[in-house]
Structure 1
Amino acid sequence: MKKLLWPIWILLTLAIGGYYAFVIFASDDKAELLIGEATHGHYQIEMACDSCHTEAFGGTEILQNACTSCHADELEDAHDSHPKKKFTDPREAYRLEIIDARYCVSCHTEHQAEQTRAMGVTLPDDYCWHCHQEVGEERESHKDLPFDSCASAGCHNFHDNRALFEDFLVNNANQPWLLEENGVSPSLDIRNAAKLYANREVAIDPQQDAQYMANHPTETEHWQDTAHANAGISCTGCHAPTGEAQTPTDENWITKPGIEVCASCHQPEFDGFSSGKHGMRLAAGALSADGTAAAISPADVQSHLDFDPNNLHLQQGCNSCHQPHQYDTTFAATEACLTCHQDEHSLAFEGSPHGELWQQAQAGDIAVEQAVSCASCHMPRVAKKKRGEQVVSVQHNQNYYLRPNEKMIRPVCMQCHSLEFSIDALADPDLIRTNFADKPGIHIKSIDWALKRANQ
C-alpha cells in the first residue's frame, strides 16, 4: 500500500506545482494567487501584482517603496503630519512598539477585507489614542470623547491636517455660511495653458493638413475654435504625431489617436488622470491588444458605485470627456460624469443648489465662475508656476480631493462657504448623498473648542 501512495503523492505534487507554475509564468489570469480581496483603493489593479510586489521575495521595504512610488507626491502636498522621519527620531522610538508608523503596511494591510475600514485602514479605529491618550486627560473638551472619534471630519486626520490646524480654525471662525464674494476660481485660459504645457515640438505638414481638412469639413469647422487650433496644433499634430512624411492615406496615419498621443503633450494632466480611479490601470501597465494604452470602462471594474447600465461599455480615456475636435469644457465638467455615474449623490446633482447654479450659468444668467459643476469639486482648477508663468490647469485625478473628503475644504468648499459650514457639510453623510440639497444636520465642535482655548 505504501508503495502505491508514494507515486500518487509525487503525481499530485507535480500536478499542483505544474498548475501554479502555469498560473505564475504563462497564464494571464492570476486570480488563483490572490490571498484575499483588494481594498476599494486598489481593486482595479489587484491582478497587476507587480504594481506592489515589485520583487518576488521582497519584504516590508519593497512594499514601502511601492506605496511611495504612487503616493509620495500626494503626501508631500499634504504636508504629511506623520512622516517617516518623525518615527526614525530616537526620541520617538518608543512609539514604534505600539504602531510601527514608518511603514504604510502597518496601518494599511492589503487583502484583508474582513478588517478593512474607511481609507483602507486595517487597524482598530482607536489607533490615535494609543499614542495620544494624554490629550483626553489634559484637554477639558476631549475628556468624554470616544477613543475612536479622533478622525471625525473637522478634527484630525493622520496624514493631512491642512484645513484643521488650530490657528486656521480660529482665523476662519465666525464667518457667514455663504461668503459674499464667492466663485470657483481661478479662471482657466486653456488656450494659453495649451502652449505652456506642450512638452514636445509638434511637426506640422501644411500640405497634409490642407488635404485632410478638405476631406473632413465638419471636424475642421469644430477644430477652428479649439485650444489646439489656437496653439497651432492641426491634424498632423495628433494623427501623425511622429512628424514623418506621411499622407492621410498612409498606413502610419493614426485614425483614432489614443491616450498616449494626448499624454505626449499633456503630461501633467495624464499623470493626474492615471493616478485616479479613471486611469490607475494605465499606471499599472494595462495595454490593449495593439499595444497602446488601454482605457477602462465601468464594465471592467467591480466598483461599489452605481453606473448607467446603458453606458457600461464606454471607455474612460481623454476623449470620453473631451471630444477630440471640439472645445467644450461644459460637457467635460458635468455631462461626461453623469453619462456613467448613477449613484445617489450624482443623480441628486441637477436638483441641488449647486446644480441650479450650473444651469443658470449655462443659460447665461450668472458668470461661469459662480457656478458649480461636478468638476468644480472633484477636479478643481489649480494654479502653479510653469516655465516662469502662472498656469491654471485642472487636477485630473478625481480622487485627489475626495478621500478623505476634508481635503476639499481649502481648495474647493471655502471658495464659496465658511470653514465651519464646510466642515459640518462634509461630516454629514445624509447631506452628501443628497448632493448638499440643504444645510448640515451635524455640527462639529472643533472651531468652538479652538476659540475657547484661544480666549483662555
Structure 2
Amino acid sequence: MVSPSARVVRLLALMAAVPTVALGGLAMLSQDSKHVLAHGPLISDHAEVACDACHVESAGSIRQQIQAQLHYALGSRATAVDFGYQEVTSKACLACHARPNERHPIYRFQEPRFAQAVQMVDARSCLGCHSEHSEQVVHSAVGVCQACHEGIKVKNDPIDIKHEILIEQKKWESCLGCHDFHGNHAIKAPLHIAEAISAEVIRQYFLGGPDPYGEEKLYEARTE
C-alpha cells in the first residue's frame, strides 16, 4: 500500500516531468530529430540502422501514458509505463542477431549453475556486455572467460601450451586471443599461443577499435 506522503512525492515529480517528457516524445516523432536526440553515437556496424529498429513505441497515446502515470503516482495502478518508447531489451538485439551457432546464448545463463558466474558478468542479457550510443563495443573485462571456465578440462588438447597450464597460470586474457566469444567469426583457433591475438588488441576492439577476428561471418545479422 502506497502511503499518502509517497503519493504526493510521486505526483509532484510527475507534474514536473510531464512537460519535458511530452515535448521530447513529440520531438521523437520527427524522423529528422531522432539521431539528434540520441544519447550518443551508434557503433559503426549500426550506422545504417533506423532508430525504431530497437526503440519500439509504447502502447497507447501520449495522453493515455500520462494518465497511466498519474494513476501510478496516486497508487491506483501497480506499475508505471514507458513514455513514448519502450525500454530496449535483449529481444531487440536478438531480432537481428539470433543465430543457430551462438556459443553463449543468453538463455543458458538463466540456469542455476551459472548463478555465481553472472555476478562477474551478467550474461543473462545482451545488455550485460553491450550497449548502444557508446563508442565502446563491449563492456566487460578481456578476461571474462574466467567467470565460467575455471574448471574446464580439454581432452586431447591440441595447443602447444595446454589449457590446464594457462588456467593454472591464470592467463584468462589469452582466451579471446584464440576464441571468438559468440563463435560467429569465420576463423580457426591457432595451435600456437604465440599466434593468438594479443590482449591489448582485444581490449582496443572492446573500446571501439577494429575487429581483430576479421570481417567474414558465418551468419550475417538480419538487415530488414
TM-score by length of 1: 0.28
Partner of 1:345: none
* CA 129–69 in structure 1, closer or farther in 2 if over 3 Å, else same: same
Whole-Å Cα distance in 2 between the matches of residues 139 and 150 of structure 1?
Answer: 12
The Cα of 1:420 is off from its aligned counterpart by: 5.5
Answering whether residue 165 of structure 2 is matched by residue 140 of structure 1, we say yes
The separation in 2 between residues aligned to 1:427 and 1:106, in whole angstroms, is 24
Q: Name 1:156's counterpart in structure 2.
A: 179
1:70 to 1:27, Cα distance in 2 relative to 1, 3 A: closer
Deviations 1:25-59 (A, max 9, x none): 235231232111111221222xx221112244334
Contact 2:117 2:148 in 1 (8 A): yes
Q: 2:14 matched to which residue of 1? A: none
Give the residue type in structure 1 aligned to 2:89: L
- Opposite residue 130 of structure 1, the aligned amino acid is A
Give the aligned partner of residue 147 of structure 2. 130
User: 1:405·1:426 contact (CA, 8 Å) conserved in 2?
Assistant: no
Whether the 8 Å CA contact 1:87–1:96 is kept in 2: the answer is yes
Deviation at 1:107, TM superposition (A): 0.9
CA offsets per residue over residues 178-197 of structure 1, 9 Å max, x none?
xxxxxxxxxxxxxxxxxxxx
User: For residues 434-456 of structure 1, what are the alpha-carbon distances to aligned partners after superposition, in whole Å with 9 as ceiling and x for unaligned?
Assistant: xxxxxxxxxxxxxxxxxxxxxxx
* Secondary structure in 1 matching 2:33: coil
- Structure-2 change in CA distance of 1:24 and 1:96 (3 Å): same
Secondary structure of 1:151's counterpart equals: helix
> Does the alignment pair 1:33 with 2:55?
no
Partner of 2:56: 54
**1:151 Cα offset (Å):** 0.6
Give the CA deviation at 1:130. 2.9
Q: How far 1:67 moved relative to its partner?
A: 1.1
Cα drift, residue 17 of structure 1:
6.6
Alignment of 1:28-107 (within 5 A): 28-45=32-49, 48-56=50-58, 57=82, 58-59=86-87, 63-72=89-98, 75-76=99-100, 78=101, 80-107=102-129
Give the letter aligned to residue 130 of structure 2: H
Among 149, 165, 185, which residue is 1:404 paired with? 185
Alpha-carbon separation, structure 2, partners of 1:17 and 1:130:
40
Over alpha carbons, which structure has the higher Rg? Answer: 1
**Alpha carbons of structure 1 residues 28 and 128: separation in structure 2 relative to 1, 3 Å:** same
Q: In structure 1, give the amino acid aligned to 2:97.
A: H
Question: For the residues of structure 2 that align with 1:86 and 1:141, how far apart are their CA atoms?
Answer: 25
Residues 97 and 55 (structure 1 numbering): CA distance in 2 closer, same or farther, change over 3 Å?
farther
Contact kept? 2:106, 2:123, Cα under 8 Å:
yes
Aligned length: 147
- Report sequence identity in percent: 28
Q: Measure the CA separation in 1 of the matches of 2:32 and 2:18.
A: 21
Summarize the alignment of residues 256-275 of structure 1 with structure 2, pairs less than 5 Å apart.
Answer: none
Quick one: which amino acid aligns to residue 140 of structure 2? L
The whole-number CA distance in structure 2 between the counterparts of 1:93 and 1:111 is: 29
Alpha-carbon separation, structure 1, partners of 2:42 and 2:167? 35
Q: CA RMSD in A?
A: 3.8
Q: 1:20 aligns with which of 19, 24, 28?
A: 24
Task: Please give the residue correspondences for 1:190-209 in structure 2 after superposition, counting only pairs within 5 Å.
Answer: none
Cα offsets for 1:398-441 (capped at 9, x unmatched) = xxxxx7352xx4xxxxxxxxx869x998959xxxxxxxxxxxxx
Task: Say if 2:114 and 2:148, in contact at 8 Å, map to a contact too.
Answer: no
Question: C-alpha deviations, 1:261-292, integer Å up to 9, x for none?
Answer: xxxxxxxxxxxxxxxxxxxxxxxxxxxxxxxx
CA spacing shift, 1:104–1:16, aligned 2, 3 Å: closer
Counterpart position of 1:353 = none
Structure 2-normalised TM-score? 0.52
CA distance in 1, matches of 2:107, 2:39: 32
Alpha-carbon distance in structure 1 between the residues aligned to 2:44 and 2:186: 16
Seen in structure 2, the aligned counterparts of structure 1 residues 51 and 27 have a Cα distance that, compared at 3 Å, is closer
Quote the offset at 1:104 in angstroms: 0.9
Task: Name stretches of at least 5 consecutive residues in structure 2 with no aligned partner.
Answer: 1-16, 59-81, 154-162, 199-224
SS in 1 for 2:48: helix
Deviation of the 1:156 alpha carbon: 2.4
Equivalent runs, 1:316-355 vs 2, <5 Å: none
Contact persistence 2:54–2:92 (CA under 8 A): yes
User: Does the C-alpha gap of structure 1 residues 420 and 123 become closer, same or farther in structure 2, counting only changes over 3 Å?
Assistant: closer
1:91, 1:17 → 2: CA distance? 42
Distance 1:95 1:17 in 2: 38
C-alpha contact (below 8 Å) 2:129/2:140 kept by paired residues: yes
What residue in structure 1 maps to residue 208 of structure 2? none
Q: Once the 2 structures are TM-superposed, how far is the Cα of residue 112 of structure 1 from its aligned partner?
A: 2.1
Distance (Å, rounded) in 1 between the aligned partners of 2:169 and 2:39 = 40
